[in-house]
Amino acid sequence: RLFMAPPEPTSFSLAQLRASAVSLIMWREPLNSALVFTVGLFCFFLNGILEYSSITLIAYAALIQIIARIVYTNARTALAEINILEKRAVLSAPDTFVTEEDLAQLVPAVTSAINGALRTAFGVLVGECDFFAGKVNVGVIKVAGVLYAISLLGRLFGTTGVFFLAFLAAFTGPKVYERKQREIDSGYTLLKSKVSDAAFVVERQLRGLLAKVKKS
């Protein structure tokens, strides 16, 4: 009679998980987002400033969660036995976390993403940029630019610093974009136009240079 009968198993939807993640980074529930953001900042402080290893932090987090859950469960049961709190059913793990329908909905997007990644990787590995033939793969140039930017960030801030910047961007970027979408889209369009014009000029000059090289 210590506990009520356990509830019926329920399924856990990937759509719910995705919605929770979006709600978190968009600050739909400010208290939850602030809590996660604060915990993340504290973890980066421990890792980057106090030099705790990532494995140590993960182990501590799991250990604290287990201890807290045990203390909470037994304290609540004791208070329920003396009629201070209502008795509550024991939480049980759902039989189904991911359904076949959930995975089936992801197949087209995952397939497209894998093909795109492999196409880009193939282009990078085989060097799909033949300037002498006038064939320039823009995707390869973009990947090279991103890799160079990551290398600079890694050199300036280190691995922990890069992940910290990504963490800050995840919790601030989407909200800023939501509030300043018009200005950001306008600026991006202008920047993209200028970059395209500059790339066209560079490509034209390069073609002229290669043509002179061929003649000589």
Span 134-164, pLDDT tens digits? 566 666 777 778 889 999 999 999 889 999 9
| CB contact set of 11 (below 8 Å; sequence gap of 6+) | 94, 95, 96, 97, 99
Residues 32-61 pLDDT 10s: 999 999 999 999 999 989 989 989 999 999
Residue 11, SS3 per DSSP: strand
**pLDDT score at 3:** 40
Higher pLDDT, 45 or 125: 45
What is the structure's pLDDT at 66? Answer: 94
List 135's β-bridge partners, or say none. Answer: 130
Q: Is the Cβ–Cβ distance between 99 and 10 less than 8 Å? A: no
| Residue predicted with more confidence, 188 or 216 | 188
- Is residue 105 within 8 A of residue 21, CB to CB? The reply is no
Burial class (CB in 10 A: 0-12, 13-18, 19+), 27: middle
Structural tokens at position 47: 């890792």
Task: Tell me what pLDDT residue 131 has.
Answer: 58
Question: What does the pLDDT read at residue 85?
Answer: 81
The CA distance from 168 to 173, in Å, is 8
Q: What is the pLDDT of residues 9-35, one digit of tens each?
A: 444 566 777 888 888 888 988 999 999
Q: What is the pLDDT of residue 122?
A: 80
- Asked if residue 192 lies in contact with residue 184, where contact means CB atoms within 8 angstroms, the answer is no
Interhelix angle for 138-179 vs 181-215, to 10°?
170
Entry field: residues in the chain = 216
Taking residue 124's Cβ as centre, other Cβ atoms within 10 Å add up to 16
Query: Rounded distance, CA 133 to CA 32, Å?
Result: 56
